[in-house]
Structure 1
């Protein structure tokens, strides 16, 4: 994921007038709960639990406590009046979750004690979370040990966006019986063109170099669009999408430099 994503995605500013996040916010504004809003928020939570978990671990909580607090956090998010208290940062789901999590930690000891007494309510099976959203991008030991919890939250968030886009691209290729093409070319989605050996790829795939160039171009273009779509689901205003992508790209770049 690089700045090219923000600059060249083929999109229309008005395309995402209704997103999962805008559905949730509109219901919060009207004071009316709806199945659509809860389903949209639930889907966002299941996708973006890893940044929450990473933040809690960096704050010093044990793995078990971090798991329990992550579950409690999303349960309270879905059940409580959190969205109405989200101003002024509520426009971005990422900002809201971090602020809400920091508020939750003020009562973390009580939450964990309630868990021990059997008072916890599971939002979803932890094993289900792990199975549905396996981490494909590793975080460097340097970032894990030296970055602040807030920096690590944003890094894990950016990685999740990339993982979601890659997963969708994989599924699309699989549905068209082009999985081998994806598995071969996906490693080069963000590689500088000068560093790509089209000859070797053509030999591997059994097609011409010009065909490789065309297929890789198409995959890159689709990948950028899927990232745009993914980010669009987490902001209220479509005009915020490109700014959010640029920020996440910069965060990933900083993480890569830290790993170097």
Structure 2
């Protein structure tokens, strides 16, 4: 996952259409079409289940308990008032969702203490915010890679995608163009052109995926750089 284009790449601005998150925000401020907002929110929750699960695990819950809590959280989210909390001036879905998870866990913790006198949760000394953001960034990258793979399959280029996909997110890895040209049955120059085109398309799809989770085009690059840094910290 890379924020800056390679030398010579042309960066085209993302056409900022109405996304699922902007639908949620707009419906939060209006009484009309709440079912549209709920459908959009449901889709976002389905897409970002794993970052929430990772964050809950980081609070010391077992995998089984974390799965139950994640399910409880999304049930609460879809039945509750998240839409009323949406603030267009701070319109990054990642931040709102993470803050809501933290509040949910805090409420669960307080309830546990009240039900079991002297009880407490054992917290694992991890950086919960960092864990959430890394998992979120990975989810965005995986979604972009999946979309690119589907595009290549429709165009009859799945074999090329499969061979080159591991080289899309970074240009610092060693690439044996000789081996790739042999396995694909094409020249090294053809492999290099194919990889360049895939990288350009992958970056564009990444921007589109990030655009789904912010409310302003001005936030796209900052959010993308932040998520790239989160992933880079794990490598």
TM-score, normalised to structure 1's length? 0.78
The equivalences for 1:181-200 within 5 A come to 181-192=160-171, 195-200=174-179
Name the structure 1 match of 2:46: 46
Name the structure 1 match of 2:194: 215
Query: How many Å separate the matches in 2 of 1:5 and 1:72?
Result: 41
Of 128, 132, 142, the match for 1:149: 128
Higher relative contact order (CA 8 A, sep 6+): 1
Name the structure 1 match of 2:58: 58
1:222-257 Cα offsets, whole Å, 9 max, x none, are: 10011101000000111101100000011111111x
What is the Cα deviation at residue 97 of structure 1?
0.3
Of 122, 130, 143, the match for 1:164: 143
Query: How many Å separate the matches in 1 of 2:23 and 2:200?
Result: 28
Name the structure 2 match of 1:11: 12
Query: How many Å separate the matches in 2 of 1:58 and 1:64?
Result: 13
Query: How many Å separate the matches in 2 of 1:61 and 1:238?
Result: 37
Query: How many Å separate the matches in 1 of 2:46 and 2:108?
Result: 21
Query: How many Å separate the matches in 2 of 1:223 and 1:150?
Result: 26
SS of match in other structure, 1:229:
helix
Query: How many Å separate the matches in 2 of 1:153 and 1:44?
Result: 15
CA contact (8 A) 2:28 2:86 kept: no
Query: How many Å separate the matches in 2 of 1:200 and 1:63?
Result: 41
Gaps of 5+ in 2: 113-123
Larger radius of gyration: 2
Gaps of 5+ in 1: 113-144
What is the Cα deviation at residue 191 of structure 1?
3.6
- Say if 1:87 and 1:215 are closer, same or farther in 2 by CA, change over 3 A: same
Name the structure 2 match of 1:117: none
- Say if 1:32 and 1:90 are closer, same or farther in 2 by CA, change over 3 A: farther
What is the Cα deviation at residue 199 of structure 1?
1.9
Answer with 76-85 or 193-202: which moved more.
193-202
